């Protein structure tokens, strides 16, 4: 069966993509940001997922005010980068996984989460920037290391979905993945945030205290986050801080208790706080032995593994 092994939270600041595309990664301002993802790229190379579900929001690239799906699932065979005003980013066309995506659509819709099925969709910085941060820079004529399934969430026009709805959708996605017969290792991204406001009198707002508490709770106590109303996100984390609800879809798709294996936080990038976290489920292989009762030896090995994972946790404070 397919299995979600880990969740990745990452900001998707477009200026990070521009810095990468224009060869600025070694400039001190940008090196500070990119260096926080070196370990993550190492982790990704070791984890070698078969497919990545990427929860992000479209920024009026694939959709517009004319059409605003709340949850849009990419079921296409490929997803070209969108032209966001300066031509499409020089990144490869992402390959989809139509069989698994259609299975997720069916399972979630029959589970009463009414996803919009997208058989043609371009993807913007909400998706391509976190993919670069985790997979590295890949030439336009190269290949991303694994196929992707985009899930575009409306956080652009009122009303976005609630944090609770997002968390529960994560659970439905997990159920969908685990009922897919093929042995696949799946990772799920939640992107956006952290605190930022792009326009208006509060432009440039960053609230590191809020961001840190969000990351702490995401890791250890996610149920505390699902009750946060939209107004609190916007008041505390800025108008675009509302993007953080998408991290709750990722978190809902994981175990209640997870191992936080990496964290990075820096301010600012453009006008935005950059946050990043990697959370692993404790049963990691697609070929699970979860149904077998753990013996005392298993339990102690698992305990050691968790302790080792905790020891790996790195906190980079701004």
Kindly list the catalytic residues. Answer: 125, 196
With contacts defined by CB under 6 A, name the span among 64-72, 135-143, 203-211, 269-277 that binds ligand DHB.
Answer: 269-277
With contacts defined by CB under 6 A, name the span among 8-16, 173-181, 210-218, 284-292 that binds ligand DHB.
Answer: 8-16
> If binding is defined by CB under 6 A, does position 272 make contact with ligand DHB?
yes
> If binding is defined by CB under 6 A, does position 241 make contact with ligand DHB?
no
Q: Whole-number minimum distance, CB 82 to ligand DHB, in Å? A: 13
> If binding is defined by CB under 6 A, does position 12 make contact with ligand DHB?
yes
Query: End-to-end CA distance of the chain, in Å?
Result: 41
- The rounded distance, in Å, linking the Cα atoms of 84 and 60 is 9
Sign (positive/negative) of CA torsion 79, 119, 251, 68? positive
Q: Whole-number minimum distance, CB 290 to ligand DHB, in Å? A: 36
> If binding is defined by CB under 6 A, does position 208 make contact with ligand DHB?
no
When CB distances to ligand DHB are compared, the closest residue is: 270
Q: Which is nearer to ligand DHB, 102 or 270 (CB)?
A: 270
Contacts of 131 (CB under 8 A, 6+ apart): 52, 54, 91, 94, 144, 148
Q: Whole-number minimum distance, CB 242 to ligand DHB, in Å? A: 10
Cis geometry, peptide bond prior to residue 105 (ω within 30 degrees of 0): no
> If binding is defined by CB under 6 A, does position 270 make contact with ligand DHB?
yes
Q: Whole-number minimum distance, CB 118 to ligand DHB, in Å? A: 20
Retrieve residue 60's tokens: 């009026």
Sign (positive/negative) of CA torsion 244, 247, 249, 255? negative
- Pattern 31-70, binding to ligand DHB, x per CB under 6 A? ----------------------------x-----------
Closest-CA residue to 193 (of 138, 254, 162, 236): 236
Q: Which is nearer to ligand DHB, 147 or 241 (CB)?
A: 241
- The rounded distance, in Å, linking the Cα atoms of 84 and 102 is 28
- The rounded distance, in Å, linking the Cα atoms of 211 and 217 is 10
With contacts defined by CB under 6 A, name the span among 134-142, 149-157, 192-200, 255-263 that binds ligand DHB.
Answer: 192-200
- The rounded distance, in Å, linking the Cα atoms of 226 and 169 is 12
Residues interacting with ligand DHB, by CB under 6 A?
Answer: 12-15, 59, 192, 196, 198, 240, 243, 270-272
């Amino acid at each position: 069966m397919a299995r979600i092994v880990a969740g990745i939270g990452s900001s998707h600041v477009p200026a990070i993509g521009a810095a990468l595309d224009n060869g600025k990664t070694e400039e001190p301002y940008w090196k500070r940001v990119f260096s926080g993802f070196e370990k993550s790229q190492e982790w990704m190379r070791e984890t070698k997922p078969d497919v990545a579900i990427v929860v992000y929001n479209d920024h009026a690239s694939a959709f517009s005010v004319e059409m605003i799906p709340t949850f849009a699932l990419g079921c296409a065979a490929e997803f070209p980068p969108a032209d966001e005003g300066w031509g499409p980013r020089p990144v490869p066309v992402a390959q989809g996984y139509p069989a698994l995506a259609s299975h997720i659509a069916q399972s979630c819709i029959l589970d009463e989460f009414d996803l919009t099925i997208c058989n043609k969709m371009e993807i913007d910085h909400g998706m391509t920037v976190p993919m670069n941060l985790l997979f590295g820079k890949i030439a336009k004529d190269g290949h991303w290391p694994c196929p992707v399934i985009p899930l575009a969430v409306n956080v652009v026009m009122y009303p976005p979905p609630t944090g609770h709805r997002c968390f529960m959708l994560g659970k439905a996605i997990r159920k969908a993945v685990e009922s897919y017969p093929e042995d696949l290792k799946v990772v799920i991204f939640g992107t956006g945030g952290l605190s930022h406001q792009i326009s208006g009198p509060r432009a440039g707002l960053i609230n590191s205290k809020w961001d840190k508490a969000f990351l702490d709770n995401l890791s250890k106590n996610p149920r505390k986050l699902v009750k946060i109303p939209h107004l609190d996100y916007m008041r505390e984390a800025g108008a675009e801080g509302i993007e953080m609800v998408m991290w709750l879809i990722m978190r809902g798709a994981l175990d209640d208790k997870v191992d936080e294996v990496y964290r990075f936080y820096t301010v600012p990038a453009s006008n935005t706080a950059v946050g990043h976290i990697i959370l692993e489920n404790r049963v990691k292989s697609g070929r699970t032995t979860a149904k077998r009762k753990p013996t005392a030896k298993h339990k102690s090995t698992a305990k050691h593994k968790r302790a080792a994972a905790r020891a790996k946790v790195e906190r980079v404070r701004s």
